[in-house]
Amino acid sequence: MGHKVTGLDLDERKVNSLQSGKLHFYEPGLNDLLLKHLNLENITFTTDTQKAIKENDVIFLCVGTPQSPNGSADLQYVKNAASSIGSFMNQYKVVVNKSTVPVGTAELVSNIIKENQPSEVPFDVVSNPEFLREGSALKDALHPDRVVIGSTSKKATLIMKELYKEVTCPIIETNPKSAELIKYAANSFLALKISFMNELARLCDELEININDVSKGIGLDHRIGPHFLQAGIGYGGSCFPKDVQALLHTSRKNGINLSILERASEVNRTQATYFMEKLTNTVGDLNGKTIAVLGLAFKANTDDTRESPSLTVVDYLAKHNCNVKVHDPVVRLQSSAYIQYSTIEETVADADAIIICTDWDEYRNIQWHKLKDLMKQPLLFDGRNLINRDDIIGLGYHYISIANF
Ligand code: UGA
């Protein structure tokens, strides 16, 4: 969109890799876009903090806000970035919080910048949360449902609106605190939808009701909406688990019990184990059994395994002395808990059971009739309800799912 962008990071390896056109993580379509803008000289990457701050009018804070042991968001990277901005800013800047940060962080950033300024230079801090998903980051970022601008300055708001002028979606103008809460409320509400379906699926399992039909049946009601109603082995990733805990922490600190979210978090904590209990109930003693796990990523189209329910499954199997064989189309992760194979055939060879943990399309399209004879017994646990129940049973598999009847 014609802007000149500088990507600043302290990690030299990441910066060098990006500058040479190589993305250091998997995100469909992003590497091509990176190469395009490097060629057009629209973007450069640097570790030179001072230069990056001095040369740019708008500074986006996109640093991590990991979970602290008490559940709150760890703001050390936000604080470090704010103090660098204060130290080096030479003229008016708009400082934009893109990171997911708790209510009150815009004010905190503003105070840190002021404290670190050698002499007074004007600036504004704006909260502009990001709503993109890993795996569909490009589409989400370029075609968002909405842009939220939390600002107390007319000048900064105008600059932000100019930046987003080619994005055709509603723009919500609000104050920084509301913008900060909108981000946590959005992620928490989506997590809540998933946990509701996962808990309802436990009831559906008892009643032999297809949770996918229930999901369709309620999702067509436009007040509910069709998205994030897919039951499975729980939500993972670097956002939902952490952001739910951070919002719960903020609520407790303010004397409010967000009990509905506490319960959603608890359902998620137990969902993978709930599924593993079905394995124990079917297979009996797991000791020495060979189990094939399909998928390590926390969802399809990413190589991210942070808080992945697959790892909970692997951990459960390893604790029960299983011989764990894993496969993932893109994740390469070393662990003493399992052996990873590069083909699905090798992974399922001699397996007592297969467990699907990630919703990769590759697993949807498996030629199951070819795998059956490779296994010790045709036992399939579908943790993502990817497979058509009638087809797979027709092939002679014993099929267990999350209420996919
Ligand atoms: C999430 C939000 O969807 C984004 O809007 C937000 O910007 C992002 O967090 C963030 O805060 O940075 P992300 O974690 O990349 O995005 O992935 P999601 O697509 O939301 O999936 C999260 C987890 O929920 C995955 O484990 C996925 O398998 C699970 N999920 C999702 C379900 O179990 N059922 C569903 O119906 C949908």
Residue 226 CA to ligand 1 centre (angstroms): 14
Q: Is the CB of 192 under 6 A from ligand 1?
A: no
Residue 309 CA to ligand 1 centre (angstroms): 13
Question: What are the φ and ψ backbone dihedral angles of 101, each rounded to 5 degrees?
Answer: -130, 145
Q: What is the pLDDT of residues 87-102, one digit of tens each?
A: 999 999 999 999 999 9
**Ligand 1 pocket test target in 62, 65, 99, 132 with most atoms within 8 Å of CB:** 132
Ligand 1 atom with the shortest distance to the CA of 298: 26
Which pLDDT band holds residue 1 (cuts at 50, 70, 90)? low
- In single-letter form, the type of residue at position 52 comes to A
Which one-letter DSSP state was computed for residue 68?
P
Distance CA 248, CA 115 (A): 30
Distance CA 140, CA 167 (A): 11
Query: By C-alpha distance, which of 318, 316, 306, 310 is closest to 359?
Result: 310
- 64 annotated ligand binder: no
Residue with tokens 């099929």: 399
Looking at 40-121, list the stretches that DSSP marks H as alpha helix, in order from N- to C-terminal side: 49-55, 76-88, 105-116
Distance CA 143, CA 199 (A): 32
Domains identified in the chain and CATH numbers: 48-174 (3.40.50.720), 210-401 (3.40.50.720)
User: Whose alpha carbon is nearest atom 36 of ligand 1?
Assistant: 228
- pTM score: 0.96
Q: Which two tokens stand for residue 193?
A: 């939808």
Q: What is the pLDDT of residues 281-335, one digit of tens each?
A: 999 999 999 999 999 999 999 999 999 999 999 999 999 999 999 999 999 999 9
Reply yes or no on whether the pLDDT at 218 is more than 70: yes
Ligand 1 atom with the shortest distance to the CA of 198: 33
Distance CA 68, CA 66 (A): 6
Position 2 scores a pLDDT of 78
Q: What is the mean pLDDT of the chain?
A: 97
User: Whose alpha carbon is nearest atom 6 of ligand 1?
Assistant: 131
Q: Is the CB of 141 under 6 A from ligand 1?
A: no
Query: By C-alpha distance, which of 380, 354, 364 is closest to 293?
Result: 354
CA angle 217, 220, 222 (to 5 degrees): 140
Sort residue 384 into left (φ over 0), alpha (ψ -120 to 50) or beta.
alpha
Mean pLDDT on 58-72: 96
Contact between 128 and 98 under an 8 Å Cβ cutoff? The reply is yes
ipTM over 0.85: yes
Q: What is the pLDDT of residues 222-240, one digit of tens each?
A: 999 999 999 999 999 999 9
Ligand 1 atom with the shortest distance to the CA of 227: 36
- 134 annotated ligand binder: yes
Distance CA 242, CA 168 (A): 30
Q: What is the pLDDT of residues 356-366, one digit of tens each?
A: 999 999 999 99
Residue 302 CA to ligand 1 centre (angstroms): 11
Q: What is the pLDDT of residues 100-119, one digit of tens each?
A: 999 999 999 999 999 999 99
Distance CA 132, CA 122 (A): 31
Q: Is the CB of 237 under 6 A from ligand 1?
A: yes
CA angle 190, 192, 198 (to 5 degrees): 110
Around Cβ 261, how many Cβ atoms within 10 Å?
21
Question: What are the φ and ψ backbone dihedral angles of 98, each rounded to 5 degrees?
Answer: -95, -30
User: Whose alpha carbon is nearest atom 19 of ligand 1?
Assistant: 133
Position 25 scores a pLDDT of 93
User: Whose alpha carbon is nearest atom 37 of ligand 1?
Assistant: 228
Position 43 scores a pLDDT of 97
Contact between 18 and 58 under an 8 Å Cβ cutoff? The reply is no
Residue 235 CA to ligand 1 centre (angstroms): 7
User: Whose alpha carbon is nearest atom 34 of ligand 1?
Assistant: 230
Q: Is the CB of 183 under 6 A from ligand 1?
A: no
- 132 annotated ligand binder: yes
Distance CA 166, CA 254 (A): 39
Reply yes or no on whether the pLDDT at 353 is more than 70: yes
Query: What are the CA-CA distances from residue 399 to residues 277, 339, 352, 387, 388 (Å)?
Result: 15, 24, 13, 9, 10
Active site residue 239: yes
Around Cβ 402, how many Cβ atoms within 10 Å?
26
Q: Is the CB of 299 under 6 A from ligand 1?
A: yes
Position 135 scores a pLDDT of 93
Q: Considering 169, 204, 239, 357, which one is annotated as catalytic?
A: 239
Residue 295 CA to ligand 1 centre (angstroms): 16
Give exposure, 351-365, as e/b (b: 16+ Cβ within 10 Å): bbbbbbbbbbebbee
User: Whose alpha carbon is nearest atom 29 of ligand 1?
Assistant: 235
Contact between 268 and 239 under an 8 Å Cβ cutoff? The reply is no
